[in-house]
Amino acid sequence: MENYLTIFELAEKTQLSISALRRAVQLHEIPFHRFMRRVRFKPSEIDAWIAAGGCKGVSAGEAAGTAHEGQELFTGPEPAEGTGKTSGTGGEQP
């Protein structure tokens, strides 16, 4: 029987940040299992996920921790200028 990985163990294995992995779980971009309220990852499913190209915008090499310097693994909306908040959130200043 295969032991499941915690998010911390997976972050170490893939060299992805914990916040990036949490976002991938939230968006169902990575295979995961819930045991009660805990999220766990099956190593064989993660290996297949990496081989298939990982998350959107993440190549197999990047998911395996070989991203080139300056390359972003996950991107989102840019913050609105001078506010520190993302545009379109209603938090913009006049």
Per run of 10 residues, the mean pLDDT along the chain (length 94 residues) is: 91 92 93 93 93 64 42 46 53 50
pLDDT value, residue 2? 80
Residue 90: which region, alpha, beta or left (left: phi > 0; alpha: psi -120 to 50)? left
pLDDT value, residue 55? 63
Position of tokens 């209603």? 90
Position of tokens 């060299």? 15
